[in-house]
Amino acid sequence: MWNREPVGGPFSLTDHGGKPRTEEDFRGKFLLVYFGFTYCPDICPTDLVEIGRALDQLGPDGEIIQPLFITLYPERDTPAHLAEYLSLFHPRLIGLTGSGAAIGQAAEAYKVYYRKVETGPDTYTVDHSAYVYLLDTRGRYLGFFPPNTPAERMVTIIRSHLPAH
């Protein structure tokens, strides 16, 4: 489960406040990186709930963690829409969107599988892998949590990587 194959890399996206963001903006933070889309009926909301619970359980120790939600459906997931959606889960979540090409580049860096499945003339749903990636303060990949990982498990693993204090 705890993959050592390197994951991560440069991205250039727009956050849910409309501000341009790259991976460099988050150096100094541990990252929890999750790819999905706001209309996802099932696994995305479940995992976002667990990420939010994990942050709450970590308390002040969790302030060094920055959770990122990168949309795989950028046509619908505008910054404003991401802001509204993510506020349902945790105030510290940052949503990222961008052009289809920019999202594709980020997904490739994180080895995320996703595929559009048409559901109507101008709509589609997205089949996607749903791993929560953990990176350290220098952007080095530490591993991933599989879908449906409970917050308690995330907290145990995250704590094992946090600097001692």
Binding site for Ni ion (CB under 5 A): 36, 40, 43-44
Please state the closest distance from residue 60 (CB atom) to Ni ion, in A.
30
By beta-carbon proximity to Ni ion, the closer residue of 32 and 58 is: 32
By beta-carbon proximity to Ni ion, the closer residue of 23 and 77 is: 77
Please state the closest distance from residue 77 (CB atom) to Ni ion, in A.
12
147 φ, ψ to 5°?
Answer: -55, 150
d(Cα 140, Cα 27) in Å, to the nearest integer? 10
Please state the closest distance from residue 148 (CB atom) to Ni ion, in A.
12
Amino acid at 137: T
d(Cα 148, Cα 48) in Å, to the nearest integer? 10
Contact indicator for 111, 6 with CB cutoff of 8 Å: no
Q: Which residue is nearest to Ni ion (CB)?
A: 40
